[in-house]
Structure 1
Amino acid sequence: MLLRNKNAVVYGAGGYIGSRVARSFAMAGARVFLAGRTAEPLREVAGNITTAGGLAETATVDALDEAAVEAHADAVVATAGSLDISFTAISLPQTGIQGTAIVDLPVADFERPMIAYPRATFVTTRAAARRMTTQGSGVILTITASPSRTAVPRMGGMAPAWAAIESLSRGLAAEVGPRGVRVVCLNAAGMPETPQLAEVYGLHADANGISREAFRDRMADLTVRKELPSVAEIADVATFLASDRANAMTGAIVNLTGGLVVD
């Protein structure tokens, strides 16, 4: 098993992406610590993992609260003996953030993702890096999306926020690499089966005067394979990147856009 004897923390584990990645980590042998702001979704994910034979524990943690994140990281190390993998997949409702032209966007709506996404990523990755550099090993995974590297209208502060996370990931990799810690960012195109993408596609569809289905098809047609990635595909790659088989990869932005972005 790729992640046997590894201890993984997943922030935003009650969400669609975080929960799928957590399950993938667990099925690969990791003991998974599920963190999020709402207890019930975490308990549901943990139940699914344990029913399938995996190991999962939950904690209510706001990824924007540095004291809470630090205390939780300490608790993981005290309980499990190490913190080997960290994955951050927080999200915000996108209504009022996407779907409006920048010239018409209020400052407060522009600031919301610019503050929340980079801050949560900084707080969680810093906590992981502090413990991993002490133990001399570990993998920190972050996630962004294709608008960080493309010219997409009506993204508000989301594209700049994702670009900031990618830059943070590179810089952190440079600092912690000599101490045995890898940092990799996954850059994905929209995954249509997620509830958030249904919301986002609706916002952009309305702005373009077309149906949600037509907008989804337009996005899929922009990819090389004419198909957007699935959450399962993202989770599979995250599990590989967290494993020792990916030891040569750090400071990288892994392209999971299906060819929407061509490197």
Structure 2
Amino acid sequence: MLLENKNAIIYGAGGAVGGEVARTFAAEGARVFLAGRTGAALEAVAEKIRASGGVADVATVDVLDEDAVEAHADAVLQEAGSLDISFNATSLPQTHIQGTPFVELPADDFDLPITTYPRANFLTARAAGRRMAAQGTGVILTITASPSRTAVPLMGGMAPAWAAVEALSRGLAAELGPQGVRVVCVNAAGMPETSQLNEVYTLHANAYGITRDAFETRMAERTLRKKLPTVAEIADVAAFVASDRAAAMTGAIANLSGGMIAD
């Protein structure tokens, strides 16, 4: 198994992406610590992991509260003995954020993702980095989306927020690499089976005056394989990147856009 004897915190584990990553990590042998704001959603993911023979712990944590993030990281370290992987999959509802032209977008709606996503990733990565550097090993993972590096209309502050998270990941990799800590950002596209992407696609479809399914088809056509990535595909790559088999990989943006971005 790729992650046997690893201890992993997954922030936003009650969501579609975080939940799938948590289940995949657990299936690969990791003990997973599920963190997020909605206890019921976290418990639902934990129950599935335990039913499959995995080990999952649950904690309600607000990733924008630095004291709560630090206290939880301490609790994981005390309970498990090490913190080997940190994955931040937290997100915001996108209504009033995406789907509106810049010239019509209220400043507060533009600011919200920019002030939220980078801060959330900074606080969780800082907590992990401090503890991983002390133990001399660890992997910090972040996740963004293809508009961070493409020219996409109606994204509001999301594309700048994702670009900031990618820049943060590179800076962290540079600082933490000498202490044995790797930092990698997963850049995804698609995942239309998730409720958030359904919300996003609906917002964009409404703005263009087309159906939601027509917009999804338009997005799939922008990929090289004419097929959008799935949550399971994203989770599988995240597990590999978090494993020792990817030991030479850090300071990188893992391109999971299906060719929407051609590196």
Deviation at 1:166, TM superposition (A): 0.2
What is the alpha-carbon root mean square deviation over aligned residues? 0.4
> How far apart, CA to CA, are the structure 2 residues paired with 1:209 and 1:44?
37
> How far apart, CA to CA, are the structure 2 residues paired with 1:44 and 1:222?
35
Deviation at 1:190, TM superposition (A): 2.0
Corresponding residue number in structure 1 for 2:101:
101
Q: Does 1:147 align with 2:125?
A: no
1:181-211 CA deviation, whole Å, 9 max, x = no partner?
A: 0000000012100000000000000000100
Corresponding residue number in structure 2 for 1:56:
56
Corresponding residue number in structure 1 for 2:122:
122
Matches within 5 A, 1:1-263: 1-263=1-263
> How far apart, CA to CA, are the structure 1 residues paired with 2:97 and 2:191?
18
Q: Percent identity?
A: 71
> How far apart, CA to CA, are the structure 2 residues paired with 1:91 and 1:169?
17
1:153-183 CA deviation, whole Å, 9 max, x = no partner?
A: 0000000000000000000000000000000
Match of 2:168, SS state, is helix
Deviation at 1:38, TM superposition (A): 0.8
- Paired residues in the alignment total 263
Deviation at 1:57, TM superposition (A): 0.3
Amino acid of the structure 2 residue aligned with 1:74: D
Amino acid of the structure 1 residue aligned with 2:85: I
Q: TM-score, normalised by structure 2?
A: 1.00
> How far apart, CA to CA, are the structure 2 residues paired with 1:119 and 1:90?
11
> How far apart, CA to CA, are the structure 2 residues paired with 1:112 and 1:63?
15
> How far apart, CA to CA, are the structure 2 residues paired with 1:11 and 1:197?
19
Amino acid of the structure 1 residue aligned with 2:96: G
Q: Which runs of 5+ in 2 are unaligned?
A: none
> How far apart, CA to CA, are the structure 2 residues paired with 1:47 and 1:11?
17
Match of 1:64, SS state, is coil
Q: TM-score, normalised by structure 1?
A: 1.00
> How far apart, CA to CA, are the structure 1 residues paired with 2:230 and 2:237?
11
Q: Which runs of 5+ in 1 are unaligned?
A: none
> How far apart, CA to CA, are the structure 1 residues paired with 2:2 and 2:152?
37
> How far apart, CA to CA, are the structure 2 residues paired with 1:106 and 1:113?
13
> How far apart, CA to CA, are the structure 1 residues paired with 2:35 and 2:249?
26
